[in-house]
Amino acid sequence: MYDLLAGLSVIEASSFVASPTAGLYCAQMGAEVIRVDQIGGGPDFRRWPVTDANDSLYWENLNRAKKSVALDLGRPEGRELLQALVRATGQFITNFPVGGFLSHAVLAEGRPDLVTIRVMGWADGSPALDYTVNNSVGYPLLTGAGPEPVNHVLPAWDLLTGAYAAFALLAAIQRRGATGEGGEVRIPLSDVAIGTVANLGGVAETLYAGANRPRLGNAVYGLFGRDFVTRDGQRTMIVVVTPRQWANLVAALDLGDAIRRMEIERGVSFAKDDGLRFDHRDALYPLFERAIGARDHADLAAAFDAGGIVHSPYRTMYDAVRDPALVADNPIFGRAENPSGFTYPAAGAFATLPQQERRAPAPAPRNGQHSEQILSERLSLPSGEIARLIDAGIVGVASGGGGSQ
């Protein structure tokens, strides 16, 4: 947790991954992010993984450091309160539909300099999820060796969209500071996905070749990179991206003479050309398989580390979370009180600011935990009116205990 965004307040009305991620990143950098949900929790409030008590560990971690207001958004009074909070604050992150009571046009009627960041599925407003957008841009048919498509587990487009949304919010605020203009920025998952494909050369590559890239399994396209198995059965990934790494890898495996013979036989030099190493992988891979398969992993790891060679053994997530370097001794993690009651290392801001002390990760709120405070501070509602709204079931407040509301 840092204070780079101290003084910035944002209303967030969202669910699932992309939009809450944008709010999370802002909160980790010091913004006051006020998440507004339906009383009892929105559609992602119980999303897996969950504890035995059905508290969502997913929700608990995507909403750290935020404040929570709970409203009955099915009733006009609840919707009007959310609109009032957005107008009072001036910054809004959402993945609600373009139209309706949270349309930018409606909200800006009372706040012309409002900045709205709207995460969408498709640009035309139709719904989409990370897992369907990924299929649409072709990656599952590039992943693995085939013939079946291979979906990845990581919701990459959600996460990229969330990060892009946080960036877009700050960009729009920067423009408003210079011009006084507010506005809406719409960020569709589909555009983030196909735009990223383009940024990585994929659109140009496919049109230039007139065909799809071949599926390569665990090989890295255009580089010398693949998984290999050591003598003691450890599967490890090795990737070479610089001439020095290539030279050190060849030396560590004592393959210098064999590589020189191959270069002479094929009329090439592998010393400085990534593409040639990839093109001649049919001959290089078996050579490296034998050399790596004749050594134990610990021996190879020491030699690779000494040579600055990029490598990593494959392991389970259970192994990773028990790695001190990744978690226990990693300063991005700390202890936090969690609504679920389960204590575990919690992640804070990923960035490190050497000039600032890193604060411990903040917990996620309980549903409605800050309703009274925010309605009083932001809308100047008197305590009697807030009490009436609570009694009428329009405003929700958190009860004691864990995350179950």
Dihedrals phi, psi of 11, to nearest 5 degrees? -90, 135
For strand 9-13 and strand 91-94, is the pairing parallel, antiparallel, or unpaired?
parallel
Cβ pair 27, 61 in contact under 8 A? no
Query: Is the dihedral angle over the CA atoms 310, 313, 314, 318 positive or is it negative?
Result: negative
Integer Cα distance of 38 and 365 in angstroms: 14
310 beta partners: 239
| Residues classed as catalytic | 158
Q: Which residue has the tokens 């309605």?
A: 375
**Distances 195 to 43, 143, 198, 268, 390 between C-alpha atoms, Å:** 29, 19, 5, 36, 45
Dihedrals phi, psi of 253, to nearest 5 degrees? -100, 5
Let me know how long the chain is: 405
User: Going by C-beta distance under 8 Å and a sequence separation of 6 or more, which residues neighbour residue 122?
Assistant: 128, 188, 189, 190
Integer Cα distance of 283 and 268 in angstroms: 13
Dihedrals phi, psi of 35, to nearest 5 degrees? -85, 130
3-state secondary structure of 154: coil
How big is the CA angle at 398 (ends 396 and 399), to the nearest 5 degrees?
125
Check residue 218 and report its DSSP letter. Answer: T
Burial 182-220 (b: 16+ CB within 10 A, else e): bebbbbbbbbbbbebbeeeebeeeeeeeeeeeeebeebb
For every residue of 69-109, DSSP letters joined together read: EEE-TTSHHHHHHHHHHHHHH-EEEE-S-SSSTT-HHHHHT
Q: Which residue has the tokens 């498709």?
A: 122
